[in-house]
Every structure is written in structure tokens, then in C-alpha cells.
Structure 1
């Protein structure tokens, strides 16, 4: 095959990859909008369930609230300087219950992510994604008719086990991009996240203003309408539209590189090399596999450690603004909107425009994002020292929010790109689903445990100590990342040149 023919085929594959990436972006945006609608509705939904069954200790909700209340009282008695948040009594109990539901969701994601990744490698990305969409539709239907807390809990469990869209979107983009465009494609996932988390909660807040009676709970049976069933119906409509769109527009990408780009003459002639050269290459491939596994383990561990502290600090941010500055819902929305919009602009206007080799570029962006996160946490800790109850937030709070935005725009997306580029070089990328699944699972463990740790430190030692610990920890993680993770993950490519 001539070089001109190879260039034409490569250009066609790149154009097809860009089209598929756009399809993935639109589908993921619809999915995140559907997912985030429930976020501002969760506290009031729990209040509605509590009004119906919270006082009955024989129900699951009643027993859970009773247990949480008992633990909160013990914590207050053991710590005379407990935060004002804990002193809110029953209201704090509902917030703690909401936090437990969030941790349960992340824990289920941690369990299921490796299985979704391996299923995508075995049965195909498209088929696995459509199966996840079926689960998403099922949990939303159950949400609509969750007239009791037990039914709502079942719906959330199904949701945690079915949400593989983000992971599979990363895998599909890894299939259709090469080493020079990988991180640009992964940034689309981050942009979809930022836009979805900016718009979705606002849509949910609109439904939160509707009176409970218009979408409230019937006291007749378990499958009565849920609180804010109209929001659930809108979420279901988004999921149905997404499923139809993906079914029509998304092709299978498992063998995309093999089908779109035939082997070059040099690759086809590999089998004609002398036996001594082939034997040497096999030995180098074996050592490379060991190196690759070591790099993947380090990336997974650093992902867990980073999200452990980042998600914990992020989770307590709304507690801080409520506890210290008495932010209203509108003010909370402005702060979170500032983070989301800033992250979107950074990803679209900065991250995707940075040139350079993907691996080196990704490592640089991850390091910058982690440093920005550490500096942002220090700013928030400074804000806590300066601020007093009922005072106005200083610019330190907004500087800290900007640090969060930079971290959101860079770290996780670029880490996903690095993981997708780590392979032994002697095989195709058809195990990308497994690698990204294990990577996501490690991160979800951090998202499960991080809020518990951060809230404990926040309530026991105060917000200033909490964010200072977070800043120091993220700085240490950043140093470990720069020291332990190589920018190039293809040592075999160098070895081949010597044969």
C-alpha cells in the first residue's frame, strides 16, 4: 500500500472518529442532564418520605433516621465544639442520609465498573451501552412510581449498577482517536459533564418549586407517584431520546482501528524478521507488560487518592457556605454555576487547544490541575479563618472555586487519556474497556470514602483544618504523580527501533 493510500485511509478514519465523538458527546450530555435533575430534588424528596413514614420505626426510613440521630447525638456529646450543622438536629439527619445514599451510589459504581469494562471488550461497546441505557430507563420508571422510601432506594440501587455511560463514552472515544487526538477527545467528556452539571440542577430546581401536591405521594400503595414525579418523567424523556439517538447514530467501535486503518507494510512484514530478532522482541514485550501493569497500578492508586480528597472537599463546600455564610439556594447555585461554567470554558478554550504529544501533554495538565486544586483548597481554608458567622464571603472563596474549576477541567479527563494510552504495544487497544473500568472503579472507591472522611474532619476539627489537610494531601499526591508516573508509556516502541 502506497503512502498516499495510507494517508487517505488515515484521514477518512480521523473524520469518522470525529463524527463518532460528536455522537458520544451529545448522548452523554443528555445522560448527564437526566442524571443531575434529581440532585437538587433529593433533600426535599427525603423530607416528603420522612413526613409519611419517618416517624414509624418499623419502616426502613424510620429505622435509618433513628440510627443516624443516635450517632449524631453521641458525636455532639463527645465533642463540645461540634459544628453548627450538627446542632440542626433532624435537618442534619436528612443531610447525612442523603450523603449515605450518594456513597451507596459510588460504591455500586465501584463494584460494577470493572464488569462493564470487560463486557465492552467482549461483547462490544454499543451493545453494552444499550444495556446500560435499559437499566437507566428502568430505574427512572421505578423512580416515577416510588411511593415509598424502600422503592426509591431500589431505584437508586439499579441506577448505581446501570450507570456506565461515562466509562463507555471514554472507551469509545479511545477507540476512535489516536495518540495525538486522544486527550482532545476526552475533553469532550469533561465538557459534557460541566455543561450537564451546570444546567441539570437548574432544571431540577425548577421542578423543586412545584408544590408537592402536584406530584406528591399517594398514601394508597407502594407504587404511588413519587415526590416530583414530573421531574422523573422529564428525566425519562431525556433517557428515551438518548437511547433512540444512540441506537440510530452510534456504530460499534470495538474493532475500529483494525477495520478503518489496515496494517502498514512494515507491520505486515514483522513475521518475516529473523528468529533471533523475533525472540528478542518477545522478551522485550514480556518486560513491557510488567512495566505497563506497574504504571496502571500507580495511576489507579493515584486516582483513588486524588478523588478521595477532592470529592470529600467538594462535598463539604456547600456545608461550608451554608454553615459559615448562610448561603441561600440561589447563592449556592451561583457558586456551583461559576465552577461549572469556568470548567467548561477552560476545557473548550484552553485544554483542547494545547498542542504537543498526548502523553506529555496529559501529564503536564494533570500536574497543573492538582496544583490548582491544592491552591484552591488553601484559599478556602484562608476564607474559613477570615470569615465569621453571618459575614460575607471574601474573594478567597471565589479563588478557591476557580481552583476547583481548573482541577475539574483537567485532572480526571487527562488521567483517563493516559490510562487509555497505556498498553504493551504488541496488542491492539481492545482491552481499553478493562483498563478504563478498573481505573473508574478505583476512583469510585475514593468518591465513596472521601465525603465520609471530609465530613468527619469538618464536624470534629472545623472547616479550616479540613481544607488545610486536603490541600496538603493533594500537594503530596501531585508530587507523587510527577515522580512515579512516566509521561511515555510505550517503552516497546523504543525497543523496536533497535531491532
Structure 2
């Protein structure tokens, strides 16, 4: 009798464990999220600060009398400084750890916003953004952190979650800007709010983030430029450069495009940035994983390039404010899937002890595009017309899509 009762209890216990245990995929997703949640939290707060300041930057520069061809260069200033320092930050994070680089970079970013808020001249505005770019190594360290705590199979999902923080930041940040500028608020006030957000992000990073246990430092912490002769990596860097060149041409001129076509001011532009954030968060927070699982990273990159180019080509046809949302949705979808998929391929191809360095060089290519993109787009915007940066960007992406097709045949892609 007792034996029968014991068997019954064991049977019921097995049924209970089976009933309450979540599916394997859910447990894997929970483990991944638990490993990167502290980083995502701190990074999101820092990116909210960027989301606050980005919509008003062109208007902030024109306040000092600059024309559109000069105003867009505020984006190039940030990226120029980032270009010079990103590989160094990547190597440093390989050597001393991800968390110290995160803390140093976020501190510098906080200082830059305070400097921007107190700028009394055009050169100070540009200098403050240059300083922000020079201390932007926290983004490179964040990407390397994700690569450290993920595997090849879930790296795109992890990077997608990191990318989703951009989307959340561009929902919350511009929303804060919209409220801060209500009733004719001063353009300086958002810079102070951004500094406060970054200070909170610094505290969160200090308390929550732990150094990855699986970080591989190896003996070779110097990044060799010979890695650029690796055909797959070089092709990935070239694709990364091209998509940022096209996208940053839009990013730098969009507020001025809205001003010229619809007579919008900074407060009227911010809802578009909120929409951009919503789409980016949906794509990178939920859609990127299933897309990559079905198509693989390489095909996802090609899909993103085609969608981005289509959106850029359709944007000039939007003759009313509401019609802007359709091509903008295509643009953001395309750009949002390209980033995580490309970064995942890079981290798979790169040697284990050089992941930080490779991602740092990728950031340098992106920064180079962020220098050239606003510069050429601003010149075309002022010299030919406001629609032409988008037409040219769409045409540029057609050969880029063709150039990305061989990535599908790479070993990293074929493992998917």
C-alpha cells in the first residue's frame, strides 16, 4: 500500500514538473535576457539621452546662424571623433574589460551634454559634440559585451536586443523632447535633461553591470590591420559603410527636409523620431530573431539593404506629413535588420580574442560613413534640392545589395 502511494506521489510530481516547466526555447530566451538585462538597462538610459538631443541638433546649430550645409556637419563632428577613437576603445575593452570602458565613456558623454547646454558660440557646439564622439567607446564595449555572453546561434538575437534599446530610446527620448519644448521651450533645456539621463545611466552601469566571465583576452590584444585582408570581413565592413552612408544622409537632413516641405519646427519633427523608435524596437526586439532564424544572417542583410533602398526612393513622393510614415517605416525596418545581422556575422568570422577590435573597426567604418553621409547629403540638399539625398541614397544601395549576395555562401552563413 505504501509502495503504491509512493509511486502515485512520484507520478503526480512528474506531471507537475512537466506542467509548470516552460518550453526549452522560453528557458533559453530567459537565460539570454538575464545575462544581458543589466547592460540593456544602462545602455537604454544612455541612449534615451541621445534620443532627447538628436531631433533638435540641426535647429540648435541654425540658432547660431549656420546654413543647412553647415548644420548637418554637427553629425559629422561627432562621428569624426568616434572614428579616431573607436578601434582604440575596442582594443582597450579587450585588455582591461568591458565595464571599465563603459564607465569611462558614459562619464565623458555626460560631460559633453553639459558642455553643449552651456555653449555660447558655434565652435563650442561643435567642440562639445566632438568630445562626445571621442568618448563614445561605451557603444563598442556594449557590442563586445553581447558577443562575449552569447553563442553563434543566439548572437544576432542578443545584438538585436541591444539594437532594440535604440528603438526604446527613440520612443522615450523624443517624447521627452516634445514635452520639454512645449510652449516654446528653450532648445538648451533638452541638453540638460540629456545630461541628467546619462548620469542615471552611469549609476546603473556602475551598480548593475558585471564583467563577463567568458571574456577571451588571449595574448594577442593588438588588432592587426591584416584582418582587413580577410575577404568576408572586408566585404562586411564595406556593406556596413555603405548602409550608414545612405542612412546618415537621411538622418542629418530629415529635420531640415520637414522644415522646408512642411514648415515644421523641432517640436513638430519629434513625433517622427518617436515613430522611428517604435518600428526599430519592434523589429530589433522581437522580429529580428525569427527573421534571422528563417533566412540566416546573410540573407537578412540583403533583405535589409533592399528595403532600406526602397524606402529612401519612396520618401520624396510623400507630399503630406502622414504619407511620410510609410517610406520611413521601410527605411527603419531595413536599417534595423541590417545592423544586428552584420555584427553577428563579423563576430563569427573574427578570431575569438579580437572580437572587440573587429567590432571597433566596424564602428570606425560606420563613423567614416557618418562623417561623409551628412557632408555629401548637406551639400546635395543645399545645392540641388531637398529630395536628392534620398534619390542618390537609394541608387547607391542597389549595387551594395549585389555586393552582399556572396555573403550567403560564406561558412558562417552556411552554418545557419
> TM-score range, shorter-chain basis?
0.7 to 0.9
Query: Using the alignment, how far apart are the partners of 2:45 and 2:117 within structure 1?
Result: 19
Aligned residues: 383
2:344 maps to 1:421: no
Q: Is the 8 A contact 2:182 2:267 kept in 1?
A: no
Cα separation, partners in 2 of 1:378 and 1:35, compared to 1, 3 Å: closer
| Residue number among 44, 48, 52 corresponding to 1:29 in the alignment | 44
Q: CA RMSD in A?
A: 3.2
Note if 1:180 corresponds to 2:153: yes
Shift of 1:257: 6.9
Distance of aligned partners of 1:451 and 1:154 in 2 relative to their CA distance in 1, 3 Å threshold: closer
Residues 334, 431 of structure 1: alpha-carbon distance in 2 compared, 3 angstrom cutoff: same
**CA pair 470-33 structure 1, distance change in 2 beyond 3 A:** same
Say if 1:468 and 1:205 are closer, same or farther in 2 by CA, change over 3 A: same
Q: Is the 8 A contact 2:103 2:138 kept in 1?
A: no
How far is 1:485 from its partner?
A: 6.1
- Contact 1:186–1:417 at 8 Å: present in 2 too? yes
Q: Equivalent residue of 2:92, what SS? A: helix
Q: Deviations over 1:197-248 (max 9, x none)?
A: 2221232333334767xx8xxxxxxxxxxx73x5444333322222222222
Q: Secondary structure at the match of 1:179?
A: coil
- 1:103 deviation in Å? 0.8
Partner of 1:404: 331
Q: Is contact 2:243–2:335 with CA below 8 Å preserved after alignment?
A: no
| Equivalent residue number for residue 459 of structure 1 | 382
Whether the aligned pair in 2 keeps the contact of 1:106 and 1:445 (CA below 8 Å) is yes
Match of 2:209 among 226, 250, 255: 250
Could you tell me how far apart the structure 1 residues matched to 2:250 and 2:196 are? Answer: 33
Q: CA deviation at 1:393?
A: 5.1
Note the C-alpha offset of 1:487. Answer: 4.0
- Cα distance, 1:394 vs. partner? 7.2
| Pair 109,486 (structure 1): closer, same or farther in 2 beyond 3 Å | farther
Task: Note the alpha carbon deviations across 1:46-67, whole angstroms, 9 max, x for none.
Answer: 466x4xxxxxxxxxxxxxxxxx
Alpha-carbon distance in structure 2 between the residues aligned to 1:302 and 1:138: 33
Q: Which residue of 1 aligns with 2:243?
A: 306
Q: Deviations over 1:41-86 (max 9, x none)?
A: 43554466x4xxxxxxxxxxxxxxxxxxxxxxxxxxxxxxxxxxxx
How do 1:67-466 and structure 2 match up within 5 A? 93-209=66-182, 228=188, 230-253=189-212, 255-256=214-215, 293-327=230-264, 329=266, 331-354=268-291, 356=293, 361-383=296-318, 387=319, 392=320, 395=323, 397-424=324-351, 429-466=352-389
1:155-203: per-residue Cα shift (whole Å, max 9, x none)? 3222111112222111101100001110100011211111112221232
| Change in CA separation of 1:457 and 1:450 when aligned onto 2, cut-off 3 Å | same
Please list every run of 5 or more consecutive structure 2 residues that lacks an aligned counterpart in the other structure. Answer: 1-25, 218-225
Residue aligned with 2:257, SS: helix
Of 464-473 and 97-106, deviating more is 464-473
1:8 is matched with none
Gaps of 5+ in 1: 1-10, 51-89, 216-226, 259-288, 494-499
The alpha-carbon deviation at position 135 of structure 1 amounts to 1.6
> How many Å apart are 1:348 and its aligned residue?
2.6
- Is the contact made by 1:143 and 1:152 (CA closer than 8 Å) also made in structure 2? yes
1:3 matched to which residue of 2?
Answer: none
Determine the C-alpha separation between the residues in 1 that align with 2:184 and 2:322: 35
2:403 is aligned with 1:480: yes
Shift in alpha-carbon separation, 1:442–1:47, aligned structure 2, 3 A: closer
Residue 69 of structure 2 contacts residue 375 of structure 2 at CA under 8 Å; is this kept in 1?
no
1:430 is paired with a residue whose SS is helix
Instruction: Name the CA distance, whole Å, in 2 between partners of 1:328 and 1:146.
Output: 21
**CA spacing shift, 1:210–1:117, aligned 2, 3 Å:** farther
Q: Once the 2 structures are TM-superposed, how far is the Cα of residue 381 of structure 1 from its aligned partner?
A: 3.9
Moved more, 458-467 or 435-444: 458-467
CA change 1:30–1:464 in 2 (3 A) is: closer
Give the TM-score, by structure 1 length.
0.69
C-alpha distance in structure 2 between counterparts of 1:27 and 1:371, whole Å: 33
1:464, distance to aligned residue in structure 2 (A)? 4.8
The normalised TM-score by structure 2 is 0.81
Q: What do residues 239-292 of structure 1 show as CA deviations (whole Å, max 9, x unaligned)?
A: 22222222222111263479xxxxxxxxxxxxxxxxxxxxxxxxxxxxxx9798
